[in-house]
Structure 1
Amino acid sequence: MKIFVFEWVSGGGLVAEPLPPSLAREGDMMLRALLDDLTPLPGVRVLASRDPRLPPLAGVSAIVPAPGEGALELYARGARAGDAAWPIAPETEGALERLTRETLQLGKILLASRPGAVRLTASKYATALALRAAGVPTVPTFREGDPVPPPAMPGPWIVKPDDGAGCDGAVIVPDWRAASDRLAMRSGHLVAQPWIEGCALSLSLLCCEGRALLLSCNRQHVRITDGRPALAGITVNGVADQAGRLAELAERIAVAIPGLWGYVGVDLVLAKEGPVVLEVNPRLTTSYCGLRRALDINTAAMVLDLLRTGGAADGWRRPEATTSVTLSLETDRGD
């Protein structure tokens, strides 16, 4: 099988724009981790895409954008050359959804979540509604025009783009009134959520056909500067799943959002009342970069195995925890 791997930032998605060093480094981390998993697999050949402003990839065939070629055209050219495609892109402005739909329209195997699931999870507001309807504990999420939150939600709020990735564009404000004012500045594009105290976590999942296998629980190291949060680092496999409640939460998320497939990330807060979901990322996340060292597994091989097994229950075994791995992103921020 020939697999085309396309990481949006390092692979040419921003070829017509300045290339932020922080995003390029983080994207490159994910790309190289995935390539390290794919290239040793028997019967697998890999083709990647590369922004020409970055150093070439050693030992991997790669295409570069042609003059005037847009990101979608570049992606289609690479996907046509392979049997399957593995897109890694932000949900912002529908980028990841367009790539997933293009893959299927070309008749290629999509090694990622299905377009419907990507479209839903691209919106924090729609995700919260879907999860809440399924009984999944989710942070209350508001947009302009929604009923005023109850008095039981005092204290700080966070306002962020509805389709933003991670902490990008997020700002912490002192109360709901300040949050409401910010929502009015970009009606329909922002959401507001009460700030929830607790331990910031992410989950690394393997999903297929409404099922989820919890690979690791990761501790997120968030720093706040002038009211703006940023992810400074991640300790992969840094949190134990006490009593299996996070594994159960993962299963409920997979049922609530049909079409999640392959590697999926979930951001949440472990509050004193229990876990509260913030968002679902239907793609590779930075935590992927530490899974091999932390768990001694090849996650890409596990994803490819889903094509054969369809996620059959007898083939799903959570990896034995071995160690934790801390990934530092501190130098990535503020470039």
Structure 2
Amino acid sequence: MPMRIFAYEFITGGGLLHDPLPQSLAIEGDMMVNALLDDLIRLPDIEVLVSRDPRLAFGTAGVDCMSPSAGEDPFVAFARGVRQCDAVWPIAPETGGVLEELSRIVVEEGRLLLGSQPEAVAIAASKSRTIEVLEEAGIRCVPTFSDPARVTPIPGPWVIKPDDGAGCADASVVASWQDARGWLDARAGEGFVAQPWYEGPSLSLSTICQDGKSVLLSCNRQHVRRHDSRLELEGITVNALDDALGTYSNIARRIAAVMPGLRGYVGVDLISTETDSIVLEVNPRLTTSYCGLRDALGFNPAELVISSTCDTALLALPISPLARALHAVRVDLHSGHVH
């Protein structure tokens, strides 16, 4: 029998039904869910249901569409979609515990979760907690401080961001560790963290995880622009770097081993310095890099995620190491285009 999958992207799927819909978030959300739908409808014996904010148009052939009712709580609407399907692929920010709550609803409804377990999402949602877990395992990470008294006097700029923020959202750059300490002190209890600025390319890893194991799909270059005190992710070059030395595969494997609840597609953000690669955060969900994966690698990543969450051993998945050498694909967040 066909497997019916509920593909749910929070921003475009009605999660902000009672709030203004930010254009930039809607563009990025559309890119991710459209890439996912395009992959899913190519698979045999798969039926797809998607949720759509009624303010947004939708016209993907071969996909069933639902919308939250006027006044309906977004999580109630989500649960309604969950009960119509066999499996659920949630895409949502970790901010405010949204992704964790969606994941818990899937588990409580007894459906197959095509993503990380709620306990792993809860850890990854907190930058400080993630760094603590990874550093305990000996994985080098960007020092992260929530207590102003503990801010280390590391020279150079610092970045202030929400502990549960996603990407560059609400991140600010300050001139020094003293400024970082003062910033945290003035906003005590508001859930911000401070990290020293490291010079070097911003990278991300696209991986598939399963029960403490991980397979690296691609290493991507993030194009981050600094506008005075603000940071903006303008785009991503998917499959930009090879992994001939196995450096990035090793990082991905070590992260999966210490966070065994990670499952399905997982992104890892890091900084490549002159001497090392330093982990910034772990994203237990689809990231924007996914939009370019099929074109860059020459196979359907959704098929791999479904297989891994259905208990097919990772080592048995049809992933060719040569696939990473095909070509790079640019994902432009301003235009919403992949080329």
Following the alignment from structure 1 to structure 2, what is the Cα–Cα distance between the partners of residues 12 and 308?
28
Following the alignment from structure 2 to structure 1, what is the Cα–Cα distance between the partners of residues 187 and 54?
35
Q: Conserved in 1, the CA contact under 8 Å of 2:208 and 2:214?
A: yes
Following the alignment from structure 1 to structure 2, what is the Cα–Cα distance between the partners of residues 213 and 286?
18
1:96 to 91, 94, 99: 99
Paired residue for 2:333?
329
Q: Conserved in 2, the CA contact under 8 Å of 1:211 and 1:311?
A: no
Per-residue deviation, 1:41:
1.1
Following the alignment from structure 1 to structure 2, what is the Cα–Cα distance between the partners of residues 180 and 111?
40
Question: Unmatched 5+ residue regions in structure 2?
Answer: none
Question: Unmatched 5+ residue regions in structure 1?
Answer: none
Amino acid at match of 1:278: L
Paired residue for 1:161?
162
Matched, 1:256 2:258: yes
Q: How does 1:33-112 map to 2 (within 5 A)?
A: 33-59=35-61, 60-112=63-115
Per-residue deviation, 1:20:
0.7
Paired residue for 2:214?
212
Sequence identity (%): 51
- The 1:146/1:106 distance shift into structure 2, 3 A limit, reads farther
Q: Conserved in 1, the CA contact under 8 Å of 2:87 and 2:113?
A: yes
Following the alignment from structure 1 to structure 2, what is the Cα–Cα distance between the partners of residues 115 and 309?
18
Per-residue deviation, 1:331:
4.7
Q: How does 1:274-293 map to 2 (within 5 A)?
A: 274-293=276-295
Paired residue for 2:172?
171
Paired residue for 1:199?
201
Deviation track 1:131-186 (CA, whole Å, cap 9, x = no partner) reads 0001111000001255241x4x1111000000000000001101111111111233
Q: Conserved in 2, the CA contact under 8 Å of 1:3 and 1:86?
A: yes
Helix, strand or coil at the partner of 2:246? helix
Following the alignment from structure 2 to structure 1, what is the Cα–Cα distance between the partners of residues 76 and 186?
34
Q: Conserved in 2, the CA contact under 8 Å of 1:2 and 1:46?
A: yes
Q: Conserved in 2, the CA contact under 8 Å of 1:269 and 1:276?
A: yes
Amino acid at match of 2:55: R
Matched, 1:126 2:121: no
1:141 to 144, 147, 153: 144
Following the alignment from structure 2 to structure 1, what is the Cα–Cα distance between the partners of residues 73 and 299?
36
TM-score of the superposition, structure 1-length normalised?
Answer: 0.96
Following the alignment from structure 2 to structure 1, what is the Cα–Cα distance between the partners of residues 101 and 187?
24
Aligned length: 330
Per-residue deviation, 1:70:
1.3
Q: Which moved more, 1:260-269 or 1:239-248?
A: 239-248
Amino acid at match of 1:262: G
Q: Conserved in 2, the CA contact under 8 Å of 1:210 and 1:259?
A: yes
Q: Conserved in 2, the CA contact under 8 Å of 1:210 and 1:257?
A: yes
Helix, strand or coil at the partner of 2:31? helix
Matched, 1:232 2:234: yes
Helix, strand or coil at the partner of 1:3? strand
